[in-house]
Every structure is written in structure tokens, then in C-alpha cells.
Structure 1
Amino acid sequence: MPHLALYTFGVLKSPLTDPAPATQEFYDIGGAVYPEISRQPGYLAHAEAADGARGVLFEADWGAWGEFTVPAWYDKGRTAQTTALATTLSLWTGLRPAFDAVYTGLHREALNRRYDWFERSAHPKHAFWWVSDGVIPTWRDGVARLEHLHEHGPAPHAFTFRHAFAPDGTPAIDC
């Protein structure tokens, strides 16, 4: 049975190492959101660096999730001191479980505050695609799907909650 891959990407207003209260709030909420999401029905896994040091994304060992990369439009720093982005890569059993996890609980509360932390952008913030059972998507896959979504709009190759597709490529109706 196929699994649903989800890549999210946002550009932060300030670097991850910024000592400002807003950055600390972002970390505090994020620290609570991840454990809650990992307990959601339908959650399978998410990319985690072997060394979870704050702001270390580009140099981290991501194991089977591959080398860390970002969309072409990201034009801020790439060092631990200058990186200003937040991104996730995860696997789900389907659209409904992912939707429920994103739009309920602590994550919903964080979404309500996203513009406190993130820059507004015309680029998509997330992309979904289906992968075969046993396949672990890579950061490169996520970036390619998000860029494809930006350039071509929703399609079975890369889609959103609002314009979702089933594993067979037909429009989905359950979200």
C-alpha cells in the first residue's frame, strides 16, 4: 500500500540562532508539536538528523532521508548562525491522518501564529506525493516536488490538501 510523503518549507523572519523571544517561542512550540504529531494515527516517520543541534541542517547526517537541500528560491544563510528556515519531511498512511494532525492540537495553534515567525511568500508551503511502501523520500525529492508544484500547480506528481490526488492519480475527495 502506498504511503503519503509530505514536505514543508518556510522562510523564517530571523535566523534559527536568533536569541529574540519570537525565535525562542518558535522552538518551544516546535518542541511540543513534534511529539504530539508523532502520536497521531497514520503517522509513520519524519526526517531527523543524527545530530539535532539547533540550526544545523545543511551539514547534518540525515541517513536514509538523504542530503539536505532547499528550494531554489531560498536566499538566506546556510550556516548554523545564518540559517533562517523551517522544513519537515514526513511519511503518512494517507491524506486524512495528515490533515487531522496538521489542523488540530498544538500544530493548529502554531499555524495560527505562523506569520509571527515566517515571511509571507507566493511559493507553496507544502507538497504531497505518494511513494511505494518501503520507500523513504529524500530531501531532494521534497524540494523537487515543491518546486514542481510552484511551477505547474497541483497534479498527481505534487499536490496540496486543497487539490489532492489519490495514489492512482485521480482527484481525492477525502480532504
Structure 2
Amino acid sequence: MPHLVLYTFGVLKSPLADPTPLTREFYDIGEAVYRKISQHPGYLAHAEAANGDLGELFGADWGIWGEFAVPNWYSKGHTVETTALAATLSLWTDLHPAFDAIYTGLHREALNRRYDWFERTGHPSHVLWWVPDGVTPTWQDGVSRLEHLHDHGSAPHAFTFHHAYAPDGTPSRINGIGPKGDQVHR
């Protein structure tokens, strides 16, 4: 059975190493959100650095998730002191559980505050796609698909929750979210 991949990317207003209370708050909420999401039904796994260092993204060992990569529009730093981004790469059993985890509960509360922490870039903040069971996506896969989504819009290769596709490539809707006339996918 195919699995759903969710890649998220956002450019932060200040570097992750910034000692301000707002950055600390972002870290604290982020850690709580990850704990909650990892317990959500339908969650399978997410990319984690082997050394667990939150500030080192570019030089970290990501194991089977591949070398850390960012979209071409990211122009801020790449060092521990200057990195100003948040990115996630996760695997899910299906669209509905991933949607539910992202748009309800603690993560929804964090989304409501996203502009406290993130810049408005005009680029998509997430992309979804399907992989066969046993395939682990890489950071570069996420970047490629996010850039494709930005350049070409939703397609079975790279889509959003609001313009979703089923594993067979047909348009899908999640609980009424998405273009009218599309099938409901659960």
C-alpha cells in the first residue's frame, strides 16, 4: 500500500540560534507539536538528524532521508548561527490522518501563529506525494516536488491538501476540502 509523504518548508524571520523569546517559543511549541504528531493515528515516521541537534540542519547526518536540501528561493544562512528555516519530511498512511494532524489540535494552534515566526514568501509551504511501501523519501525529493508545485501547480506528482490526488493519480477531496466534483478520499 502506498504511503503519503508530507514535506514542509518555511523561512523564519530570525535565525534558529537567535536567543530572543520568540525563537525560544517557536522551539518549545515545535517540540510539543512533534511529540503530539508522532502519536497521531496514521503517522509512520519523520526525518530526524542522527545527532538530534536542532540547530544543525545542513551538516547533520540524516541517514536514509538523505542530505539536507532547501528550495532555490531560500537565501538565508546555512550555518548553525545563520540558518533561518523550518522544514519537515514525514510519512503517513493516508491523506485524512495527515490532514487531521496538521489542521487540528496543537499544530493548528501553531499554524494560527505562523506569521509571528515565518516570512510570507509567496511560495508554497507544503507539498504532498505518494511513494510505494518501503520507499523512504529524501530531503531532495521534497525540495524538487515543492519547487515543481510552485512552478506548475498541483498534479499527482506534487500536490497540496486542498488540491489532492489519490495514489492512482485521480483528484481527491478530504472531508469536502478541494475542488467540487472530485471524489472523496478517506
Question: Do the two structures share a fold, i.e. TM-score over 0.5?
Answer: yes
- Are 1:148 and 2:148 counterparts? yes
Corresponding letter in the other structure for 2:160: T
Cα distance, 1:173 vs structure 2? 2.2
Alignment partners' CA distance in 2, 1:146 and 1:94 = 19
Cα deviation, residue 24, structure 1: 0.4
Letter in 1 for 2:141: D
Question: What SS does the corresponding residue of 1:129 show, helix, strand or coil?
Answer: strand
The whole-number CA distance in structure 1 between the counterparts of 2:16 and 2:54 is 7
* Matched-pair contact (CA < 8 Å) for 1:128–1:160: yes
When normalised by structure 2's length, the TM-score is: 0.93
1:121 CA displacement: 1.5
Maintained 8 Å contact 1:5/1:137: yes
Deviation at 1:105, TM superposition (A): 1.1
- Render the CA deviation track for 1:108-159: whole Å, top value 9, x for unaligned: 1100100000001210000000000000000000000000000000000000
* Structure 1 residue 54: Cα displacement: 2.9
C-alpha separation in 2, matches of 1:146 and 1:47: 17
In 1, Cα distance between the equivalents of 2:65 and 2:154? Answer: 24
Structure 2 counterpart of 1:30, one-letter code:
G
Structure 2 runs not aligned, ≥5 long: 176-186
Alignment of 1:93-112 (within 5 A): 93-112=93-112
Task: Determine if contact 1:66/1:139 at 8 Å carries over to the other structure.
Answer: yes
Equivalent-residue separation in structure 2 for 1:21 and 1:116 (angstroms) = 12
Query: What is the SS of the residue equivalent to 2:134?
Result: coil
Q: Is 2:37 aligned against 1:37?
A: yes
Unmatched 5+ stretches in structure 1: none
Pair 1:169 & 2:169 matched: yes
Match of 1:125 in 2: 125
Could you say which structure has the greater relative contact order, defined with CA pairs below 8 angstroms and 6 or more residues apart?
1
SS at the partner of 1:22? helix
- The alignment's TM-score, normalised by the length of structure 1, stands at 0.99
Q: Distance in 1 between matches of 2:52 and 2:39?
A: 20
RMSD over aligned CA atoms reads 0.6
What CA distance in whole angstroms lies between the structure 1 residues aligned with 2:101 and 2:52?
A: 23
What is the CA deviation profile of residues 6-57 of structure 1, one whole-angstrom value per residue up to 9, with x for unaligned ones? 1000000000000011100000001101010000000000000001223100
Question: Is this contact kept in 2: 1:14–1:84, CA < 8 A?
Answer: yes
- Contact 1:54 1:80 survives alignment (8 Å): no
The runs of at least 4 consecutive aligned structure 1 residues that moved more than 2 Å come to none
Structure 1 equivalent of residue 66 of structure 2? 66
In structure 1, distance between residues paired with 2:22 and 2:116: 7
Distance, in Å, in 1 between the alignment partners of 2:164 and 2:48 is 26
Q: Which residue of 1 aligns with 2:92?
A: 92
